[in-house]
Structure 1
């Protein structure tokens, strides 16, 4: 649905989600002369995202830092949030995905997080960002979920979104609107801090 609305996305998925490699091409089987002519189909069986990532190998994963954290350690004094990632072009194999006239499925990114020391990737994302998107940008967008969760927690706990006790829609609507405006104001302050005070 997001693709049909021309909206790009990065969504977390399970490693058991099925897909074809990005270079897979559908072929039309020969017509035997009886019944309906067969439509184009992929000659290879689809596999899981986990299998596609494992077949690419750990050596293809690159270390990416996506933001600064808050906990420093002896081995990470700058509190950098980093891990190893690999990105592949794949074609999701869901039956409900609309195929092109030639029978091909749309191509997208598979991003897999493969932490150092792990036997296999731990997290997977599918993304419809352009094919020339750098790995660092893919990781930044996939890992931006923390910002949404942080803002929601601040909106709910700090600004009182969940404190409404009324029983009608207009009251609820006013409460949510004011809480949302307070959140927008806090965000503006965070992004545009005041000039430093004179000495």
Structure 2
């Protein structure tokens, strides 16, 4: 991992350059590094263990930070077009069913991947 660290840092800086705060960019780089590490599970806790950090840092960056994902996605699409020339992009919105029947405040809804989520 150390041999690719400068390239990873440069990539993260380019992709996350639109984030207004330095701490957001640092957490974003940490998240990208976590995705690149070996390991089957790419969820927050296993990634944080491999990185040696508290998983809440990653969780807050992904789920409750105020950064604009559209700008990051646009930068990533431009990078991909320049470096790998993709013919198409596919963005998969993964559906997750409710956990149980008594989830307060969570309405039953349709989920394309699963049919009617319960």
Q: TM-score band, normalised by the shorter chain?
A: under 0.3
Q: Which has the higher strand share?
A: 1
Q: Looking at CA atoms only, which structure, 1 or 2, has the larger radius of gyration?
A: 1
Q: Name the TM-score, length of structure 2 as normaliser.
A: 0.21
